[in-house]
Amino acid sequence: MATEHNFGKGNFGLFLLGFVLYMTDIGTDLWVAAVYYIDGHPAWALLVLLVILISAVILQSFSWCWYEDDEKNPDLGNSGCAGGRWCRRVLHIFQMGVLLRYIKALDYGYRAAFKTEDTHRKAIYAVTDLSMLRLFEAFLETAPQLVLQ
């Protein structure tokens, strides 16, 4: 028996909080690297930056592959870029693909939560993809940084 899930205002609020925490995480990662460098530990700063860069490249690769896979499903809509596939590829190369996903999910979530459009399914898929990317980030970036610190 299948159940229908709706993306409500509470879900939207928690997702918005998750977006704020994601942006804060990026800021604190760069702050830690800067503190190491300023304190005269350039090797530690470089290690932190390498962990950030390697995990970002892997996350962007997964994100881009999932966008390519989503094109095969007509229920999931457009790519989130006016330029389509080319625009999405450039954003992922410049490490902005996950941010694009957040913006797209916030758009779908807002429309679903405040009933301007029936985008519940799209919002749930977008949030699920971002949750998986954040889980990957936890193992690829956060765990090694804890060992370094």
- For the stretch 54-89, pLDDT in tens is 999 999 999 999 888 877 776 666 555 666 778 888
As a whole-number percent, the residues of the chain with pLDDT over 90 amount to: 41
Mean pLDDT of 121-128: 87
Assess whether pLDDT exceeds 50 at residue 1: no
In which band, very low, low, confident or very high, does the pLDDT at 148 lie, cut at 50, 70 and 90? confident
pLDDT of residue 16: 92
Burial class of residue 71, CB neighbours in 10 A (0-12, 13-18, 19+): middle
Tokens of 75: 């229920």
Integer Cα distance of 90 and 65 in angstroms: 14
- With tokens 């679903």, the residue in question is 112
In which band, very low, low, confident or very high, does the pLDDT at 141 lie, cut at 50, 70 and 90? confident
Q: What is the dihedral of CA 58, 95, 25, 148, to 10 degrees?
A: 50
Assess whether pLDDT exceeds 80 at residue 25: yes
Tokens of 57: 């490249």
Tokens of 114: 């405040």
